[in-house]
């Protein structure tokens, strides 16, 4: 049997199994919400300590873990952006020293682009950040 035939067979099997698996996952999720359990760890949560993160109702511990993870990733993005901006500044300075005007527009875009990416990431993360759920 050729590799393509195996791939087609796997794709057909996945297509047949997907609706049942998705329905089962949705029922499980609805049951967790109804039973007011955390959608990440499954622990029971009382109404005072539930958080809505990325559309999921989670407990305080999972909200804290997610917040710390997002904060770590954000610091990584900010660090890489700072290094990129610094490298672009050095490149502009080196070109200016050699008297080469070519490529200055690209360096300028990088100098503006890295902080812009970091800023958009911070704004997006703040919008997705832990929010205490009502009710």
The answer to whether residues 119 and 81 touch, using CB atoms and an 8 Å cutoff, is no
- Residue with Cβ nearer Zn ion (38 or 88): 38
**Segment 34 to 73, residues that bind Zn ion, using CB under 5 A:** 38, 40-41, 59, 62
- Residue with Cβ nearer Zn ion (56 or 95): 56
Min separation Cβ 28 and Zn ion, Å:
15
Number of residues in contact with Zn ion under rule CB under 5 A: 5
Going by C-beta distance under 8 Å and a sequence separation of 6 or more, which residues neighbour residue 31? none
Min separation Cβ 111 and Zn ion, Å:
42
Residue found under tokens 């109702």: 57
Q: Which residues bind Zn ion (CB under 5 A)?
A: 38, 40-41, 59, 62
């Amino acid at each position: 049997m050729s590799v393509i035939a195996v791939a087609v067979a796997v794709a057909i099997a996945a297509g047949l199994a997907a609706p049942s698996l998705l329905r089962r996952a949705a029922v499980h999720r609805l049951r967790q919400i109804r039973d007011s359990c955390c959608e990440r760890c499954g622990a029971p949560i009382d109404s005072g300590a539930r958080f809505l993160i990325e559309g999921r109702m989670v407990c305080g511990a999972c909200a804290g873990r997610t917040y710390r993870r997002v904060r770590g990733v954000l610091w990584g993005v900010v660090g890489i952006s700072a290094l990129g901006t610094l490298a672009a500044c050095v490149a502009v300075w080196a070109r200016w020293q050699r008297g080469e005007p070519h490529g200055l527009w690209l360096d300028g875009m990088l100098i503006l682009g890295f902080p812009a990416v970091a800023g958009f990431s911070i704004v997006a993360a703040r919008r997705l950040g832990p929010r205490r759920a009502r009710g």
